[in-house]
A and B are shown apart, each in its own frame.
Chain A
């Protein structure tokens, strides 16, 4: 380790390399932006949809299931932070800590069961056609 806040010499090649990469990227992107012929027209700027004028907006209809899955994932992800930080000091906290943690996990588990029962995890295709008949007779 270098002393007195001096820049460590062994890091120099890495920094140089990083600067070169960033520099090259910047140059290429800037050249692409600056050079070349541009002929913007309403047709060219229109979204490509198989050669047809698109109908409706692509942003309006975001299917709810994906949102639900994302939210559920977040909730259970946050849980992991508590579990991990508790695990580090588990011995020091002793039995009371253990009880509190498992209470917390239990409440989460109940929540999961509730979501499951409510159909929050069924987010694939329904497998049913418009008339409500099962799509796959075979």
Chain B
């Protein structure tokens, strides 16, 4: 305001312009219209700022607008991926004038913790940014603060000249995007480090001269003992395929066979159809690049790894196929399991392994015109090792046209309409792109394009120490927070044979279940919203905030606590945790009953969801579905019961199922799961065992503070484990836990260093998503949105 008064000395017309400036600015600052635009985790906090506790409407930004035409504020919340950057730029350009840009969160500001091949190192490289919100993720209060700051900034603009079409004046976001290396620092460590060399690259982990970590002795990994079932299976396989497969010994977690490439399809078919017991589900299919493995050079260039699952009795099985060529060809398993389709495409995309007989072997996660195969060891891991991403790149590298993404060519006589739904759409819950072929309102065919949220987390895993990787796991499924930590650590602890004390186990279970409820609450709100009920949003986010208060009390974080540690948790429970949990336990059942009163018997809701998006159990198993989506097809399969971990066997709870396999069944299962989680939390809180909260095995753990202050041994362990990181014994482990969205598995391969050799994440959404065309064909667009809501996927875990 002061500035305006000063310049009014220029003369009478200027005085008039200044007064008009004041009026226009006042009007503009109180009526900002943010666009409904979220990229990743940050958007959850941005959305929370619009719900009842934070209520951004108080500050003059009422509703999120669905289209860029109606919006004048772009809050870039989350990671800007190279695949989605052209979309971000287009949306910005399609907004009217004037417009403002707020960059929310470290990823959008600078790439944040994702200095990786697929991420633009800051949205300011493609757009001019008015305001940056720091944080990973920033809290909702930070969004409110940013809005107030932006209003202050608007007050300093001089829009009248622009409005009247005169020369001069300022309004909206100004200036050019920054150029990495020219107008912004390119070094991931900040400016001033150009002289020093980066530690390690994609092929070799950081190495320090005189590092004695190779000399540190570690006990060997625990040994898996074969049960009678396993021995019987090994006998059957060896009898049927003599000389073609070999039992691999010793293993850490399950039975493992090395199979010759020629017979792999026969072996898979036999295991699925005729073996005793039958392995009916393909859990995961991935590839290892063997080229830089330490300790004993492998003759193979790549190894193809299959993980199979048997439901009864609960067993897992790993098959490995060696591939020697640099440009290998393997047989495709799509004829046995349809779900192999995406897994093989991903393997092709990431490693360049081709599959013979695959119906559509093309890139899945990376853009269609990408060069190279990122998970190969000779591919650079960091974005800062590649040339900077610029606005010109965003203009050139457009996503693939819609026709190419439809599975079937159109042969009908009538014309059909092709419609893109996503990546920017309110109903797709993240950066997901559906391509619909429509006849009237009916979906004739559905194509999908994923990878707009590919954060390269598997590649990052190869350069982080076992501890350092924990914060990345939180962000794999960003609505499940600590439950992600558990999946990863469960795999690490299996590999290292690390005992977790009972108190730590109970704390972990309690937090994982709190996050299950929190995740289901967000699902409840969005699903109800998708079929037209707005009210539950405001109710469930209210309870979710109370729940996050407990999480904050215990861990200090909200969305991403990163609070579990190898061998336990970061700290003991704080004072007052019991009262907080108890009060939530008292309160929540009443609230849940309220939500149900609104929705469960609501005739509109039932009309929209019953008989919509039906899936048979057979299809669900073939396509590798897991979690509530599988249980809604009538199978009581829950890893907490079938492969108990972290002491779940000590808890009394039921596995809810529903027989119908439609959207309504999926709804019922999740609502009941919230009740069961509540029971588990109640038991965990009531019977919380006393004692240690981190393992005494300081070889792998960060020691308790008081120990490292008193014993030199513990201090050394502390020092080693937080700097170079603990060494885990060579070996591999695949372990899955029951996350809110299904089975999240970590396949960790160690070659005896402080860094994983390969981190493979088996995400529930990846399998759940593939089944979409089956559910959507023949339905209407309105049904599709109900189906999307009921499947409850989340993009970072599909794209990783």
Contact = CB atoms under 8 A, between A and B. Distances in A.
B421 A50 contact: yes
A8 interface: no
Contact of A44 (B93, B439, B442): B93
Interface of chain A: mostly helix, strand, loop or mixed: loop
Given A44-B93, A64-B414, A125 B408 contact: no
Interface stretch (A53-61, A85-93, A96-104, A111-119): A53-61
Interface residues of B, number: 53
B417 A58 contact: yes
Contacts of B67: 48
B358 interface: no
Contacts of B414: 61, 63-64
Contact of A37 (B162, B422, B774, B778): B162
Q: Which of A46, A58, A130, A136 neighbours the largest number of chain B CB atoms within 10 Å of its CB?
A: A130
Contacts, number: 108
Contacts of A129: 774, 777-778
Contact of A138 (B438, B440, B611): B611
Interface string A106-138: 000000000000000001011111100001111
A95 interface: no
A64 B417 CA distance: 13
A137 B97 contact: no
Contacts of A54: 402, 420
A73 interface: no
Contacts of A37: 97-98, 162-163, 165, 171
Contact of B398 (A53, A56, A128): A53
A61 B611 contact: no
B345 interface: no
A52 B91 CA distance: 9
Contact of B420 (A38, A55, A127): A55
B778 A135 contact: yes
A38 B97 CA distance: 7
A132 to B, nearest CB: 10
Chain A interface residue number, banded: 35 or more
Contacts of A130: 408, 444-445, 777-778
Given A56-B417, A56-B418, A63-B439, A51 B90 contact: yes
Contacts of A66: 440
Nearest to B171: A37
B780 interface: yes
Contacts of B425: 50
Nearest to A65: B440
Contact of B69 (A48, A52, A137): A48
A125 B778 contact: yes
Nearest to B426: A50
B392 interface: no
A35 B440 contact: no
Nearest to A125: B442
Nearest to B445: A130
A50 B779 contact: no
B614 A136 contact: yes
Given A37-B163, A61-B417, A138 B614 contact: yes
B94 interface: yes
B402 A55 contact: yes
B68 interface: yes
Contact of B661 (A64, A127, A138): A138
B164 interface: yes
A41 B93 contact: yes
Contacts of A41: 93
B588 to A, nearest CB: 32
B778 A49 contact: no
Contact of B662 (A49, A55, A138): A138
A43 interface: yes
Given A61-B415, A136-B611, A43 B777 contact: no
B419 A49 contact: yes
A36 interface: yes
Contacts of B616: 137-138
Nearest to B404: A55
Interface string B592-626: 00000000000000000001001010000000000
A129 B408 CA distance: 12
Nearest to A42: B93
B93 A125 contact: no
Interface string B764-797: 0000000000100111100000000000000000
A43 B95 CA distance: 10
A55 B403 contact: yes
A48 B440 contact: no
Given A39-B97, A43-B93, A55-B403, A126 B661 contact: no
A127 B442 CA distance: 9
B72 to A, nearest CB: 12
B415 A125 contact: no
Contacts of A61: 414-417, 438
A20 B444 CA distance: 51
Contacts of B611: 136, 138
Contacts of B438: 61
A136 B87 CA distance: 35
Q: Which of B69, B90, B421, B614 neighbours the largest number of chain A CB atoms within 10 Å of its CB?
A: B90
Given A36-B163, A138-B661, A49 B417 contact: no
A44 B94 contact: yes
Contacts of B780: 125
Interface in B431-454: 433, 438-442, 444-445
Contacts of A64: 414
B777 A53 contact: no
Nearest to A59: B417
A46 B420 contact: no
A51 B441 contact: no
Nearest to B777: A129
Contacts of A53: 398, 401
B614 A50 contact: no
Contact of B433 (A39, A46, A50, A55): A50
B672 interface: no
A39 B92 CA distance: 13
Contacts of B130: none
B777 A63 contact: no
A49 to B, nearest CB: 5
6 contacts: A36-B162, A48-B94, A52-B433, A53-B398, A54-B420, A125-B440
The 7 lowest CB-CB distance pairs between A and B, nearest first, are A63-B440, A135-B778, A51-B87, A61-B415, A129-B777, A55-B402, A125-B442
Interface of A: 35-39, 41, 43-44, 46, 48-56, 58, 60-61, 63-66, 123, 125-130, 135-138
Given A61-B438, A125-B440, 5 more contacts: A37-B171, A41-B93, A51-B87, A52-B399, A63-B441
